[in-house]
Structure 1
C-alpha cells in the first residue's frame, strides 16, 4: 500500500517525494493509469463523504495516474477544510483519510485596554460557527497589530491562540500586548530659510508631544500621516510663491531609549516668485478675449499662488457657460523669468473635447440621501463634462463633514463622448451629545448640555439643542437649519430660545422667549444677505423698588427709577436683515482677511415696541514677520432709535465689546439709586487693535502672547426723568491697554486678559482680569 499524505504543520505545497516514489515503484500501473474500483472516505465527522469526493474529483471506474492523485490531494488541501489529508492507494482502491479543522465556538480578545473590543472585532475576518483557518487567524492578528501601530503603539504584539472544546470546536483568542505609545518628541526641519521651524510645525498634522500628551493623538508616530504632512508642506510653500519647493526626505529616528521619535523634514525652498505680465488670448474663432480679461482678479506683482490661477481659470470658464459657450477651456500658459523671479501668464481660451456627462453614480451612502450629494455638483446628466467642475464638486462633498472618505472619479461611458462620474463615499457619525462645565467671570460656573445632528435624517439638515445653566442664568435654544432649502443655495433656519437671567444687575431679572425664522442666500461672490423675522416676549421682573426709611433720613430707593418704569413684559415683532461681505471665504490670500457686516431690525409690525436698531462691524486680519505675528483690527458701532416710547435696559447696548470692564461696567449709570444700576445706552462704538505672537515656549504647549488696545463708549438714553439729574448719558471715551495669554487646549482655545484702563469714569466697573474662550470676529 502506498499513500499521499500531509501531516500537521506541513507547508501547503504538495505530495511528499517519498509518497510519489512509492507509487511509482510499488504500483507502476498507476503511472500509466489504472481503473479505480472504488474510493473510500474516512475520518470525516462534520463534512459528508460526497463533499469530500467532490473536492477530490476521483471517479470510480475511471483511470487514475500519480499526477491525478497529486492534483486531488492539492484540491483537498486547498479547500481549507482539512487539517490533515492522507491518500492511500491499495490495489485499485483509494482510501482518503481526513482530519477536519475544528469550527470556531467563540472569538475573544484579551489584554486590550486602549482600543475597545468593538473597534477590534470589526477588523477580524474569522467568525464563530465557521471553520477555523490558521492563515485567516494570522491575518487577523496582523490587522489588529496594524490598528495599534496606527494608534502609535509600534511595539504592540497580537498572538492568536486556540482553546480546544468538545465536538471538534475551539475558542479563538487573540492575546494582545499593547505596549506604550511611541510619541514624537521633536519635529525639525533642514533647509528652511524663509519660515521658522515653529511656523512650519503649525502647518503639519503631526504634532510634538506636549503638556496634553495623554489626550492628544496627533503626537504619535503614524507613517501614513507623514505622507499627508509632506503634501501640507508643499501646499503651504506653493501658495506663498515657492514654485520649486520640494520635500527631499523625511527621516524618522528612534531615541536612544527607543521610546520616542525624532522627525526631520529635509526641504528645498527655492525662490519666491511673483506674478508678472498677464494676458488673455483666444484660439476659438470669433471669441473676443477682452471681456474675459476684465473679470480677472489676479494682478501683476502679487505673490504667485496656485489658488489665484485656479480662481482665474474658473472665472473665465464660468463666464463662457454664462455666455452660452460650451466646451470652452482655459489653458494657463506660463513663461518663467528666473532673473526677475516672475511668472508671466497667458490664459488661452481653447475649444475642449465634446464630452458629456452620461450619469452620476453614488455608492456608499446608507443614510445620506442621494440629493444631498448631487446638489454639490454644478452639472447634471447631459451637461458638458468639465474636469475642473468635478474636482470642485469633490471638494464640496468632502467639506460637508458627513463622510470619512469621499472619492469622485470619471470613467468612460457607453460611448466615447460620454463619461460616468462615480461617487464613492464612506459615512461617519454626524451626531454628538456633549456635556460640559463652563465658567464666566460675570456669571460664575455653569453646566452645558448639547445634542446635535448635522445630517438630520440623511437630508443634510442641522438640528441642535443646547441647554446651559449657571448660578444666575439659564439659556435653552433649539435650532433647525436647512442649507439647501427648495434645492437652492438658500439656507433656511428656525431658532427657538428661552433665556432667564439677572446678569444685567443683581437687583432685577429678565426673561426672554423668542422665535426667529430666517433665510440666507448669496448676492455676490463674497456677499451674503440674511432676512429674518423675530417674535419675542421680553420681560423685566423682580425689580428692587426699595423701602421707606422710618428714621426720616434718605430712604432706600433700590433700583433706578428708570428701571422701575421699565418693569413688565413687551411683545416685539420685528423684521430685519444682515449683509455680510467676507473675503476670508475665498482663500486666495492665505494671510489676509477682511469682513464687513451691516445689520438692521425694524420693530413695529404689531407688538409693543417700535424701533430701528442698526449695527455695523468692519474687521481685518493679517500676518506679518514671516507669519509669526498676527494683527487684527476691528471697528464696530450701533444705534437704537425708538419711534414710539422709550427703550428699555433689556434692549440697549452694553460694554461687552470693550475689554477691561464688566459687562455693564460703562455707560449711563444712575448714581442716585442705591443699587447704582448700569442702564446701558442707545448708542455704542468700539475700536479694537490686537497683535498675537510667540512667547518663546515650545509651540506644542499651545501658548502664545498678545497685546491689545481698546477704545469706545456706550451712551444715550431716551428718558432720564425722576433720577435727580445724576444720570450722565453723554459720550465719554474709555481706553484700555492689555496683555493676553492664549492657550490652545483639548477643551478649546482659552485666553487670559490682563487689562489697565487709561481713560474711564469714576463710576465705571473696571475688571483687570478676564478668562474667556478665544474667538475671532
Structure 2
C-alpha cells in the first residue's frame, strides 16, 4: 500500500512540472509576439532633452554625449556620458531620467550647474604678486566654479609659497553666494613666516670640518649676513645646488670618488626651522701622477699640452680639468673642427692615491661655414647683425670667432637671446650657421617729476631709441627743468659710419644755471660737436671729438673775487680732444665683471677765444663676488692748464663732492676758494679714489634696487700746489641705487673721516640721473 502511494506521488510531481513548463513557454511566446508587433520601440531613444542648465547651452551638453536620438538604449554608454559631463567641471550633479512611450524612450538629462564666479580675490597675499598669480590660476572671474580646479589652484599657490620658504602658509577658500546664483570667491591666505635653516650638519666628513664645508655651499644658517642675502631661507633648488657645490668642493681638492649619498631634512613641529644633514662619502684623495693627450692632436701635441691646467704632481681638480677640456676644444675648433670632442680617461690607483689622466681628442670633420642665416630680427636689419660677426661666410669655422660674434651681438643690447645651431650644408665639409634672435624693446619715452636737495621739485623727460629705424643708430633727446637749472640735450650716433667699422656722433646742448648759492654767479651755455670712434682691437677704441661751446657768465654776487670778475661776459671754446678706451665690461649699465680704462687729452684753441689743455685718466674694475655682490674699485686723475696768456675758464676748473665723486661732501664742497670773498674758484688738478661694494637688498632682488657700501677719497689742488695724500679728504657710508625708468636714482648717507677747513659736508644726498 505504501509503495503504491509513493509511486502515485512521483507521477503527480512530474505532471506539475510539465504543466508549468507549458505555461512558461506560452507566456514567452506571447511576449515575443508582442515585441515583434511594436518593432522593439521601447529600446529605441526617441528624444533627449536637457533641464536645469542656465550658463551652459543645451546643444553644448548634447554635443559632448555619445548617446544620440535613434540609437538603441545602452546603459553603459549613458554611464560614460555622465562621467564625461562631470569631467567638464561645469556641473555638480548629473542625472539621466527616462519615460517609455509607444514611440520609444524619452530621456531627460537633468543637471545642477556649478555657480559662475563673479569675483576672485586674494586676501592676505603679500609675498606673491596678484597679477602673476591670476595668470597661473585656472579659476577666474566669469568662469564656472568647480572643485577640482579649486584644489589645483590651492596646490599651485602653496607650491609658490614653498618655493619662497613659507612652509607655514594656510590657504582657505571662502565662497559667498549672490542672489543671482553667482559666487564671490576669496582665497584667504595666512602666509606666516618664512621657514629658515637652523642647523646644517655633515656626516662622513673627515678631510674637512663642518665649518669649511658650510662655507662651500650656498645655504646658510640664520645670522645677520644670511638674513641680508636670504640664504638662510629654506629653498629646495638651492639645496640641490648645495649637493653639487659640495661635490665640486671635494673634487677640486683631489677627491675624485667623492659623492653626496643623501640629504636628510627635518622640519620642526612649529614649521619655523629646518635641520639639514648631508651624508658624504669622501673616498681617497688623488694626486695626478700623469697627464697626457691622445687621439687627433690638432694642431700638435705641444700646443694642446700648453693648454693643460692640470699638472703632474698636483692634487686632482675638477675645475682645472673642465677648463683644460674647454680650452682644448676651443683650440681644436679654431682649426675648423666645429664638432670636436674631448673625453677625459681616468686610470685610478686607489691604494697609491694617484690617478693618470688622458684627454682623448676626437676632432670630427673639418668644416667651412657655407651660409649665415639670421632669424628673429623682425625690426633690426640683417646688416646690423652681420657686421658684428667675426665668423664669416666661406671661411673655415673658428670656435673663438663664433664666441666673439655672440658676445658682440649680445652687447648691442637689441636682443634678449642669441641661439646658434649648425646644420649640415650642401656637402659634408660645410655647415650653415643659423642665428636665432629674440628682439627686445630698444626705445623708451619717460617723463618724471622728481625732488632733489639742490633743485627741490624738477621735471625730467627723455626720448631714446638705441636701434633707430632698425639700423643700429642710437638717438637721444632729453630735457631737465628745475628751479635752479635747465638742461636740454640731443644726440645721434652711428656705430658704423658709412658702412665702416667707425662710429660717428653728433650732439647739441643748452644749459642754464642759477646756482649762485654755490658758484656766486649765473651761467648760460650752448653748443654742439661731433665725435668719431675707431676700434683698434676688440676692446680698445680710439676716440676723436670736437666741441664748440659759448658760455655767458653774469649776475656775479658782490663782493667777488678778481679771478671771477675777470671772466664775466661771453666766452667761446673750440676744443679738440682725443683718447683711448679699454672696455671689457659685461654691461655698460650695471656691470658685474670686466674693466673700463680711459685716457684722454684735449686742447682748446681751434675756434673760440679760450686757450687751455687738459688731460685725464680713469680706471674702474668690477669683480663678481657671487650672490649679487660686486666689488668696484676705481680711480681718476685730471689736469687742466691755460696757455697763450689765457686763464682756464672758471666753469672748467675742478671741484669735488657728492654722488659721482666724494660722497659725504656737498656739491663742490671740496674745492679752492678765494680766501677773501669765499668765492668758488676750483683747482687745476684733482684726484679721486673710490671703492664700492654693491649688494642686493632683501626682498628687492629683481626690482632694480641695490645697495652700496662705499669708501671715497679725493683732493683738489691749485695751480701752485701739488696733490698730497696728507690733504686728501676721506669719507665712507652707505647708499641705495634704483635703476628707474627715468634714469638712475641714488641716495647716499656719507660720513666724513677726514676733511679740511672750508669744506662743505653733506651727510644725506639724493640725486637723479647719476649712478654710483
1:542 positional shift: 1.8
> Aligned partners of 1:492 and 1:503: how far apart in 2?
37
Q: 1:316 aligns with which of 311, 331, 335?
A: 331
Structure 2 residue corresponding to 1:85, chosen from 70, 94, 111: 94
- Which of 107, 124, 138 is 2:119 aligned to? 107
* 1:542 equivalent in structure 2: 555
Matched, 1:528 2:556: no
Deviations 1:209-247 (A, max 9, x none): 86998xx89579474652686499689979998997988
- 1:598 positional shift: 0.8
Provide the rounded CA distance (Å) in 1 between the counterparts of 2:378 and 2:732. Answer: 46
1:714 aligns with 2:717: yes
Which shifted more, 630-639 or 230-239? 230-239
Q: For residues 98 and 375 of structure 1, what CA distance do their matches in structure 2 show?
A: 70
Residue of structure 1 in register with 2:726 after alignment: 735
Alignment partners' CA distance in 2, 1:34 and 1:386? 81
Alignment of 1:628-777 (within 5 A): 634=635, 636-642=637-643, 645-654=646-655, 670-671=674-675, 674-682=676-684, 684=685, 686=687, 688=689, 714-716=717-719, 729-731=720-722, 733=724, 735-736=726-727, 741-743=732-734, 745=736, 750=748, 752-756=750-754, 765-766=758-759
1:509 — aligned with what? 522
Alignment partners' CA distance in 2, 1:474 and 1:359: 49
| 2: CA distance, partners of 1:235 / 1:428 | 41
1:98 pairs, out of 92, 99, 110, with 110
The CA deviation string for residues 44-72 of structure 1, in whole angstroms up to 9 with x for no partner, is 65666655444333355554544444444
Shift of 1:651: 1.9
Q: How does 1:57-206 map to 2 (within 5 A)?
A: 57-88=66-97, 92-93=104-105, 95-99=107-111, 101=113, 104=116, 106-112=118-124, 114=126, 117-126=130-139, 131-149=144-162, 153-154=166-167, 155-159=169-173, 161=175, 163=177, 166=180, 170-171=182-183, 173-182=185-194, 184=196
CA distance in 2, matches of 1:572, 1:632: 34
Q: Residues 254-273 of structure 1: matches in 2 within 5 Å?
A: 258-259=271-272
Contact 1:107 1:128 in 2 (8 A): yes
Q: 2 CA distance for matches of 1:507 and 1:630?
A: 39
Instruction: Confirm or deny: 8 A CA contact 1:394 1:406 kept in the other structure.
Output: no
Quick check: 2:48–2:69 contact (8 Å CA) kept in 1? Answer: no
More displaced stretch, 236-245 vs 52-61 = 236-245
Per-residue deviation at 1:344?
A: 8.6
- Could you tell me whether the CA contact under 8 Å between 1:106 and 1:171 is conserved in 2? yes
Alpha-carbon contact 2:686-2:716 (below 8 Å) kept:
yes
* Distance apart, 1:99 and its partner CA: 0.9
Q: Which protein has the larger Cα radius of gyration, Structure 1 or Structure 2?
A: 2
- Stretches of structure 2 lacking an aligned partner (at least 5 in a row): 1-30, 696-700, 739-745
Partner of 2:49: 41
**Counterpart position of 1:565:** 566
Between stretches 628-637 and 38-47, larger displacement belongs to 628-637
Tell me if structure 2 keeps the 8 A contact 1:496–1:514.
yes
CA distance in 1, matches of 2:533, 2:113: 65
Distance 1:680 1:123, change over 3 A: same
| Alpha carbons 1:474, 1:501 under 8 Å: kept | no
Q: SS state of the match for residue 191, structure 2?
A: coil
The offset of 1:613, in angstroms, is 2.3
SS at match of 2:575: strand
Unpaired runs of at least 5, structure 1 = 1-25, 547-557, 695-699, 717-728
Q: Secondary structure at the match of 1:735?
A: helix
How far 1:580 moved relative to its partner?
2.1
**How far apart are residue 597 of structure 1 and its match?**
1.9
Q: TM-score normalised to the size of structure 2?
A: 0.64
Check conservation: 2:571, 2:610, Cα contact below 8 A. yes
How far 1:334 moved relative to its partner? 8.5
CA gap 1:86/1:746 in 2 versus in 1, 3 angstroms: same
Q: Residue 513 of structure 2: which of 500, 504, 519 is its match?
A: 500
CA distance in 1, matches of 2:670, 2:280: 54
**More helix, by proportion:** 2
Change (3 A) 1:61 1:348: closer
What is the number of residues matched between the two proteins? 687
Question: Matched residues in 2 for 1:68 and 1:271: separation?
Answer: 67
Over 3 Å counting, the alpha-carbon distance change for 1:164 and 1:352 in structure 2 is farther
| Cα pair 1:599 1:616 within 8 Å, conserved | yes
Aligned counterparts of 1:300 and 1:640: Cα–Cα separation in 2: 55
Q: 1:525 to 1:362 in 2, by over 3 A?
A: closer
Distance 1:398 1:629, change over 3 A: closer
Q: Could you tell me how far apart the structure 2 residues matched to 1:407 and 1:234 are?
A: 32
Cα gap change, 1:117 to 1:254, in 2 (>3 Å): same
